[in-house]
Homo-oligomer: A and B are copies of this chain.
Amino acid sequence: MTNRTAENIFDKLVDGIVAGKMIPGEPLAEKALAEQFGVSRTPVREALHRLEQSNLAERGSRRAFFVRKMKAADLAELFEAVGEVESALAALAAHRLTEIERQSLTAILEEGRICDDPQAYGEINARFHATIKSGARNSALAATLDDLNLRTLAWRAANFHENTNRLATSRVEHQAITEAILAQDAEATRSLMRSHVASSYVVVADILARREP
On A, residues with C-beta under 8 Å from B are 2-3, 46, 49-50, 53, 63, 74, 77-78, 80-81, 84-85, 88, 92, 138-141, 144, 147-148, 151
Contact = CB atoms under 8 A, between A and B. Distances in A.
B3 A63 contact: yes
Contacts of A80: 92, 138, 140-141
**Chain multiplicity (copies):** 2
Contacts of A81: 138, 140-141, 144
Nearest to A53: B53
7 contacts: A74-B140, A80-B92, A80-B141, A81-B144, A85-B144, A140-B148, A147-B147
Nearest to A42: B42
Contacts of A138: 77, 80-81
A9 to B, nearest CB: 14
Nearest to A91: B84
A179 B165 CA distance: 43
Nearest to A144: B144
